[in-house]
Amino acid sequence: MIKLLIVDDDMWIREGLKRNIRWEQAGIEVAGTAADGEEALERMQELQPDLVLTDIQMPFLDGLQLAERINEVYAGTKVVFLTGYDDFSYAKQALRLQAADYILKYEDNEVILNAVAAAASTFLAERKEAEKARKSQSLIQNKFLAELLEGCANPQWARVELGNLGIAAPEEFFQVAVIQPEDGRRFARQGEGDNAELLLFSIGNICSELGAEAFPYRYPVVYNNRVNLLFNLPAADTGEDPAAECLPVHLEKIRRTLEDYLKLQVSVGLGTCRKGIERISLSYGEALAAAQLKPITGEAGVFVSGEIRHSQSSHHSLLKEMERYIRQHFREEELNLTAIAGHVHISPAYASTLFKKYKGTNFSEYLIQLRMDKAAELLAATDAKSYEVAEQVGYRNPQYFSVLFKKHYGKSPSEYRRDQQQI
């Protein structure tokens, strides 16, 4: 339905226009009314109407002034003037403001409906044309960005072309992420007909909407039945890219959102940050390789290119440092895998993979085991109350602690202490 806002300082006229004209037969819904131009602007922001039917002579802000403001702020919204004055100067000003129509209040309801319906038709036609132009522009942008993923022989020309296509990329550094389905063929299978296009569009939308503030220059690129993400990033004076450190966490959020909303299991590969448009393809190649790590590890996640190259000895060094950090911070209830991974500068997914591979358990189980062991030591060696022990091992909720402890040892904390005292 097309949304209409009716503006008139006469309440009876407002209500009459709203109730006595069969708007629905023209596919029009009266979204709201306003008593003057100022109130109309407030309602415009709230209701976002497609059409405005307004009186001209009103207090505070008249219809002509309202139309000027609408043209400035709400381009595309159609204005139909309804006035009690058959004055050529008003008609002349309405023409200057590109009003959809100018009709007199004493016209019958059918004339008014026809005028507004004609404005609605114009609005729909213009919206359709704008959408076609937007889609065409989007396809051209996507094609050019896909070409950059494969390689760029002329960086200066590419910079100019980015500007011509309206793609903002003011920074020097680029980094590519590849979203890989759990089954690498899944997008291709769904690529027959509209299903795949809709799926890829949905993934691209989610990628576009998340992280707008942290990563303003990020572009989904649909290529080879995958959704790829091209990031244009700033760099610190050291040449290192501080924003890139946040990318694995951001990509993990995207991965989980796809899982929650689209029921889609994906892994994400992230290439290294590269300086210059001509090196985008290098980051892309690394991201593709990183995305393939999932079948090896057996877990979906975010995999960073540099992490794949770690040797077994460096794996042990990383794990040793993670264990040291956990033992130092296990008393903090909010301790999580993201914090630990950040401490050793790897992604949470990669940290999880290392835990499972070398410890034979996941992080949560490892942390609970450590906390339960420490709790048992405190119960056996001190007179601390059960709730005090719970706090000292990272649990603010003593009931939850007791449940975990009993599940772990087969007895409550008080029973465990009693048994230890009898030994």
Nearest to 250 by CA among 304, 203, 293, 211: 211
**Alpha carbons 165 and 10: distance in angstroms, whole number:** 49
User: Which pair of tokens denotes residue 292?
Assistant: 């393939």
Q: Is residue 26 part of a domain?
A: yes
Q: Is residue 111 part of a domain?
A: yes
**Residue pLDDT, tens place only, 313-335:** 556 777 888 899 999 999 999 99
Whether 105 and 178 map to the same domain: the answer is no
Count of domains observed in the chain: 3
Type of residue numbered 384:
A
- Spell out the per-residue pLDDT of the chain, length 423, in tens: 899 999 999 999 999 999 999 999 999 999 999 999 999 999 999 999 999 999 988 888 988 899 999 988 998 899 999 887 665 566 667 767 778 888 887 788 999 999 999 999 999 999 988 888 777 778 888 899 999 988 877 888 888 888 888 888 888 899 999 987 765 444 544 444 556 667 777 888 888 888 777 888 889 898 887 889 999 988 643 344 445 567 888 888 888 888 888 888 888 888 888 888 988 988 888 888 777 765 545 556 777 776 555 545 556 777 888 899 999 999 999 999 888 887 876 667 677 877 887 788 889 999 999 999 999 999 999 989 999 999 999 999 999 999 999 999 999 999 998 888 776
Asked if residues 177 and 291 have their Cβ atoms less than 8 Å apart, the reply is: no
Which range marks the domain in which residue 387 is found?
Answer: 364-421
362-366: list long-range contacts, CB under 8 Å, 24+ apart: 363/337, 366/326
Residue with tokens 């998340």: 210
Query: Where is the domain boundary, 95, 128, 161?
Result: 128
Helix (H) or strand (E) holding 221: strand 218-223
Q: Is residue 345 part of a domain?
A: no
**Alpha carbons 390 and 397: distance in angstroms, whole number:** 7
Whether 8 and 58 map to the same domain: the answer is yes
Query: Where is the domain boundary, 281, 309, 337?
Result: 309
**Residue pLDDT, tens place only, 352-377:** 877 887 788 889 999 999 999 999 99
Q: Is residue 117 part of a domain?
A: yes
